[in-house]
Each structure stands twice: as structure tokens, then as C-alpha cells.
Amino acid sequence: MCASNQDVVNRSDVVIIAVRPQDRHEALTGLRVDDGKIVVSLMGGVANDDLRRTLATAAPLVRAIPLPAIHERRSVTVTCPSHPVVDALFEPLGGVLPVADEAAFNVFSALTATLTSHYWYLATLTSWATGHGMAPEDADRYVRGLFQGVGRSLSDESRPLDRLAAAHETPNGLNHRIRTTWFDQANSDALRAALDALLADLR
Ligand SMILES: NC(=O)C1=CN([C@@H]2O[C@H](COP(=O)(O)OP(=O)(O)OC[C@H]3O[C@@H](n4cnc5c(N)ncnc54)[C@H](OP(=O)(O)O)[C@@H]3O)[C@@H](O)[C@H]2O)C=CC1
Ligand SMILES: O=C(O)[C@@H]1CCC=N1
């Protein structure tokens, strides 16, 4: 343990900033970061220009998006700008995807914002089934099993996502019906609009 954030910085060659964006001024204002250090910012939605103003340093600043799967060394970490030391840090943890600029970084950032909606989708399916009298543990087990299968099928990178969908769907069958009646154009447009609005805020 260190006595202060300044103490952490002084003892580090690579400084990782993982406070919540709204805490950054309290955590970082007044810190001295020598130009020879490397700063990795994990803060969602904070541009490097903004961070450079707060830290007032000429040290390289690299943004990165490690996600919870990094625990199992399976998170592809987007970085910007690419830096050999930072990319080497994340490479063994599931791979690294350096992107050219923060405009591209923000698109990937917006994609990460959809993760919990995916869990919420599964929770909604489970709750719908319990509403129809299924035991919660049965509904939970069944929905988890269904989507673990989906997760495994995603490992097959030889097939594009639309082909994977087609492979799971009988023409005019049950999946086709829900995909076209629920995930219809209006629903797809609403998702794109929410992502566009987030992207506009990230710029
Ligand atoms: N959760 C995720 O999957 C991802 C999160 N991020 C980004 O990572 C950052 C952290 O997110 P998350 O881990 O979920 O948030 P948490 O709230 O879990 O963690 C924030 C941490 O910041 C510490 N902290 C707060 N204020 C200070 C301060 N003044 N000085 C030192 N440390 C401080 C907190 O310490 P204490 O607990 O002692 O208050 C806590 O350990 C965010 O910027 C988020 O955008 C990025 C990618 C993915
Ligand atoms: O939801 C969040 O705020 C963080 C940032 C990237 C992924 N999770």
C-alpha cells in the first residue's frame, strides 16, 4: 500500500488510471507525472486531451478498454494510440486491438456499453418464463444453457454472424418469427439510435 496517489505514481514506470470518470479531478489534479512514465487510462468516455489537461504532463497517454473477461485472459483490449509497452501488457490477457485514433476508439467503447443490456435481455427472458409459472431455477438454468451454446458457437470465426444466425434458424420457424417480429426494423433502429447518441457524447 502507498500513502498517496503521488506515492503510487513515483514508484511506477507505467501508471494505470482506473478511477471512475467523475472522480478523476479529485484523484488526479496536482499529481506530478514525469514525462518518462507511461500513463494508461481505463476511464470510459474521457479523451486523452482532457486527461492531459488534468495531469499537465508530456508523458505518453494511452487509452485502453480491458473488460471483465480479462480475469480469464480472454478480453481483447482496445488501445489508443498504440504503444509497444502497453500493447505488450495486454497481449497475454486475451489479445490487443490497437486502433488508429480516438474516433475509432469511441466506436469500440460504445460497443462495450451494450454488455449489461445483454445480461438484462437474458434476465427478461427468465422472468417472462417464471411469469408463465416456470420454477425460477428451471428458467434460469435453461436460459443460461441456451446462451452458453450461443457463446460457444461464436468461437467459430469461419462463419459470419448472419450465417451463424441462419444456421440456428428454421426458415419461417420459431426463431425466424421472434427475430422478425421483435427484433424488427424499429427495434434495430432504436438500438442504432441509442449507440449513435452515446457515440455523440463520447466525442
Ligand atoms: N467495469 C468495467 O468493466 C470497466 C470499467 N472501465 C473504467 O474503469 C474505471 C473504474 O470502473 P470500475 O472498476 O467499474 O469502478 P469502481 O467504482 O469499482 O472502482 C473505482 C476505483 O477507484 C478508486 N478511487 C476512487 N477515488 C479515488 C481517489 N481519489 N484516489 C484513488 N483511488 C480512487 C476506488 O477506490 P475505493 O473503492 O477505495 O473508493 C475504486 O477502487 C471507470 O473509469 C470505468 O469507466 C473500463 C472498462 C471496463
Ligand atoms: O460501463 C462502463 O462504464 C464501463 C466502461 C467500459 C465498459 N464498462
Minimum CA distance residue for ligand 2 atom 4: 44
Q: Is the CB of 67 under 6 A from ligand 1?
A: yes
Q: Does domain 5-100 have CATH number 3.40.47.10?
A: no
Q: Which ligand is nearest to the CA of 65?
A: 1
Q: Is the CB of 27 under 6 A from ligand 1?
A: yes
**So what's the pLDDT on residue 156?**
87
- Which atom of ligand 1 lies closest to the CA of 26? 29
pTM, two decimal places? 0.92
Pocket probe mutation, ligand 2, options 78, 112, 202, max atoms within 8 Å of Cβ: 112
**So what's the pLDDT on residue 121?**
98
Distance 44 CA to ligand 1 centre (A): 10
**So what's the pLDDT on residue 202?**
93
Tell me the mean pLDDT per 10 residues along the chain, length 203.
Answer: 95 98 96 97 96 97 96 96 98 97 98 97 98 98 97 92 94 96 96 98 92
Distance 142 CA to ligand 1 centre (A): 34
Element (H, E) at 79: strand 77-80
5-100 and 115-202, same CATH topology: no
CA distances from residue 170 to 79, 136, 179 in whole angstroms, order as listed:
40, 28, 12
Sign of CA dihedral 12, 15, 20, 24: positive
**So what's the pLDDT on residue 41?**
98
What are the residue boundaries of the structural domains of the chain, listed by start? Answer: 5-100, 115-202
**So what's the pLDDT on residue 203?**
87
**So what's the pLDDT on residue 15?**
98
Q: What is the spatial distance between Cα 130 and Cα 127, in angstroms, rounded to a whole number?
A: 5
Give the N- to C-terminal CA distance of the chain in Å, as an integer. 36
Minimum CA distance residue for ligand 1 atom 2: 67
ipTM rounded to 2 decimals: 0.94
Q: Is the CB of 44 under 6 A from ligand 2?
A: yes
Domain 115-202 sits in CATH at 1.10.3730
Minimum CA distance residue for ligand 2 atom 5: 44
Q: Is the CB of 22 under 6 A from ligand 1?
A: no
**So what's the pLDDT on residue 110?**
97
